[in-house]
Structure 1
């Protein structure tokens, strides 16, 4: 399977100080797995757009480092430029590219927003697909009045309350973070320096004032020439050539024409192909007629003889001491947490469940943290048992060696108990989350919530068996009693949760029992 890829296009409110731009770029590039695809700095806008791509976790970290550096070096009290802005790191969108969903990009936006708000003490607004309310879906609505208005209204106007971070604006302003489809930043220059003409054309073109769907536009003066500055938010529904032709027709009304156009950042290949096909009138054109595409397909085929790496279940079935029941219990707990996250994700974004959406986002974050912890526990349990085997192989020829071996075995046994005991504790937390999504979440997925609780209960039972058998190797009976007593309390709690789940499945889910 190919590695998931996500694109991020952070916009920073600086272009005139190259040393600041380079410091921000270097901070982003310091994350090893990230590739910077493009950098565009506009002196009139006083704005730099950096396009980066990589695995989700790496891109998320790189975006944070870029924001952190911008907050350190940019003071909006001394910033001027043609482009609207409310922050040093003004807007940070994530775009799904390969093997990653829009929902996962929304979660990246939320995690990054929370981290920026709490760690850097910067107000953060979520927009586009990550927006927490309809009024924040569009970036221009959040940026209305820019930094100067935000300073005046923050803490006074409830509409300005950020999604994360303090209700206070400092020199770095606020940051807007979100998830969206691929966007084309596209500017058309006119054969005039009359910016009012560009503004009139922008008004005719943009959707908000009756123009083309998925087009945002404004008129500005750049390098002494009037410019229609645009964001095209869905090039498949409103292609680039249609926008250009409408601008051309509108410009003729004022006796001007198109001087040239420019891209800010990158453009999807399909957008250019669509325009080429339209202008060349290539009826019946197929994308695989592009030479480079056909070459890429031919060169990227993987050998059919390549063997897949053995997965965990194959390892489990091999007949070796590890991985064993403890690792299998952690695997069940991780699966249960994944199911909880799935039900919560199937709930967010649904109008019917709008009231519980904030709670579902909390559950997603908790479930994902538990899933990661339990995934690590799969390996940790095997390592703990391997440590016990290594201790049992220590020499025992002399009294000193026997004593050292005994101490090592005791220590290794405690380690082999602690991992499954932690799995048992976390299994209860997962069961509690499963109960919450069964109670509040998407009714269509209530059986998945029930399955999550059952998987977590199985994890608790299996982990408990591992704790009990390893207790046989302890010499301290008080320790044994303490461990077993905690297990019994966890098992009693699990029984109560199972009973509550069955009631919910019967009453809310109407499942026949």
Structure 2
């Protein structure tokens, strides 16, 4: 085995991956008696951060390299195992393998690679951090390629790399004829790229699948990591409507009013967004397109954000119940239990309070939608407003009942002030919006 990276994909941290790398490295070395090096975030010295540094000299050079005190393995024997060589195990972020195709020579492609990659040339660093690159020629396709590894797409995103290569290619009067993703990539990397071009070209796209289509083709979907993973604990959000209703109606206390309030809030925002979508792009409302471009996104974004609290509320309840079940045989355990109960209860207040806050941020947008949205959707926006009313009341009742267990009086007072403020805003705003709708003619 040459290299084995651990990557925090879901429900894991980089520290978790470092521990995995160390555990696997030690076990592999002990059981097989082979040299193992740690790299990336698991590296124990700065010079071993880069995989390429450890690999320098390759298999043929390892016999001499391993004798150097600076290159003793992190685990296993410090001698060359002819039948195995060495293994590198580490922890790192997603690595995106990204190729940009050019109608050029190998030398021209490599010149661009040297310009953009972080290592650059011997006497001059490149422009892009956390990027490796090389230029080569693909004889079978009769074109050259700048082949890149993006070591941290949050530091240097895909679109930045692509635009920099386009700029260099333009200076050399070379055509860029496409790009290629190799292997798996995180969904967020595509969405970042889509948002860049949406802003650059002044496009109006808010749907996630359409954003992916903007920067790829449908055949790329299997390569997006988020599309390949499923939650093992089947969160409420992924249930069918039928199953969710059955769960609410069961003998279990969760999901309860808090989760239902979050669902109502998300549906209320969704109906507002729907009214905008049924106004935008229609010839009879063409003069409203610019206004709908401003009104739809905040409603859509709040719809997505509020959905998360359907599960968050149930998890907050489960966390508090788990704190109640902690042992308290010793004074230390009693103290730990009290801290856990306190933190869990504060979180159980914050979740519905945040739902109410997010709803409060919708009223001004909904008021504009009520004034200008497709009047044929009158009942939809009325239903949406009533759902947001119900959601605010649901959040209010959940905050108030949980505040009974909060002993920090100043914090309790702040929470109460906030939830009352959101409730009062809801009463005034919903009444105003419904009046606006009632006064409009169909």
Give the match for residue 337 of structure 1: 269
Deviation of 1:429 after TM superposition, in Å, equals 2.1
Distance (Å, rounded) in 1 between the aligned partners of 2:395 and 2:241: 27
1:384 equivalent in alignment to 2:316 = yes
CA separation of 1:368/1:391 partners in 2, compared to 1, >3 Å: closer, same or farther? Answer: same
Give the match for residue 78 of structure 1: 171
Distance (Å, rounded) in 2 between the aligned partners of 1:389 and 1:430: 33
Q: Which moved more, 1:324-333 or 1:345-354?
A: 345-354
CA separation of 1:497/1:89 partners in 2, compared to 1, >3 Å: closer, same or farther? Answer: farther
Give the match for residue 124 of structure 1: 201
Distance (Å, rounded) in 2 between the aligned partners of 1:392 and 1:17: 68
1:209-220 correspondence to structure 2 within 5 Å: none
Distance (Å, rounded) in 2 between the aligned partners of 1:467 and 1:379: 16
Deviation of 1:499 after TM superposition, in Å, equals 1.7
3-state DSSP class of the match of 2:102? coil
Contact conserved, 1:435 with 1:453, CA < 8 A, in 2? no
Distance (Å, rounded) in 1 between the aligned partners of 2:192 and 2:367: 24
1:68 equivalent in alignment to 2:149 = no
Deviation of 1:509 after TM superposition, in Å, equals 4.2
Give the match for residue 466 of structure 1: 398
Contact conserved, 2:157 with 2:193, CA < 8 A, in 1? no
Distance (Å, rounded) in 2 between the aligned partners of 1:449 and 1:455: 10
Contact conserved, 1:336 with 1:453, CA < 8 A, in 2? yes
Give the match for residue 288 of structure 2: 356
3-state DSSP class of the match of 1:311? helix
More strand by share: 1
1:115 equivalent in alignment to 2:192 = no
CA separation of 1:475/1:452 partners in 2, compared to 1, >3 Å: closer, same or farther? Answer: same
Residue 403 of structure 1, aligned match among 314, 320, 335: 335
Deviation of 1:320 after TM superposition, in Å, equals 0.8
CA separation of 1:18/1:444 partners in 2, compared to 1, >3 Å: closer, same or farther? Answer: farther
In structure 2, the gaps of 5 or more residues are: 1-99, 114-139, 147-152, 180-189, 206-211, 220-238
Give the match for residue 16 of structure 1: 104
Distance (Å, rounded) in 2 between the aligned partners of 1:89 and 1:465: 59
Distance (Å, rounded) in 2 between the aligned partners of 1:440 and 1:317: 39
Residue 477 of structure 1, aligned match among 409, 412, 418: 409
Give the match for residue 438 of structure 1: 370
Deviation of 1:448 after TM superposition, in Å, equals 1.0
Give the match for residue 245 of structure 2: 313
Deviation of 1:125 after TM superposition, in Å, equals 5.7
Deviations 1:350-390 (A, max 9, x none): 23333332232233221222112111111111111111001
Give the match for residue 429 of structure 2: 497
Distance (Å, rounded) in 2 between the aligned partners of 1:397 and 1:117: 59
Give the match for residue 450 of structure 1: 382
3-state DSSP class of the match of 1:348? coil
Give the match for residue 42 of structure 2: none
TM-score in terms of structure 2 length: 0.53
In structure 1, the gaps of 5 or more residues are: 1-11, 24-39, 49-60, 92-108, 131-176, 183-264, 266-306
CA separation of 1:13/1:69 partners in 2, compared to 1, >3 Å: closer, same or farther? Answer: same
Q: How many residues align?
A: 274
Residue 346 of structure 1, aligned match among 271, 274, 278: 278
CA separation of 1:335/1:309 partners in 2, compared to 1, >3 Å: closer, same or farther? Answer: closer
3-state DSSP class of the match of 2:362? helix
Distance (Å, rounded) in 2 between the aligned partners of 1:18 and 1:401: 66
Deviation of 1:442 after TM superposition, in Å, equals 1.2
Give the match for residue 372 of structure 1: 304
More helix by share: 2
Distance (Å, rounded) in 2 between the aligned partners of 1:372 and 1:115: 20
Q: Which moved more, 1:394-403 or 1:466-475?
A: 394-403
Give the match for residue 428 of structure 1: 360
Residue 417 of structure 1, aligned match among 349, 367, 387: 349
Q: Which moved more, 1:497-506 or 1:361-370?
A: 361-370
CA RMSD, aligned part only? 4.2
Deviation of 1:457 after TM superposition, in Å, equals 1.2
CA separation of 1:434/1:308 partners in 2, compared to 1, >3 Å: closer, same or farther? Answer: closer
Distance (Å, rounded) in 2 between the aligned partners of 1:457 and 1:18: 64
Deviations 1:416-450 (A, max 9, x none): 00000000111122333322211111111122112
Contact conserved, 2:159 with 2:193, CA < 8 A, in 1? no
Deviation of 1:404 after TM superposition, in Å, equals 2.6
CA separation of 1:89/1:494 partners in 2, compared to 1, >3 Å: closer, same or farther? Answer: farther
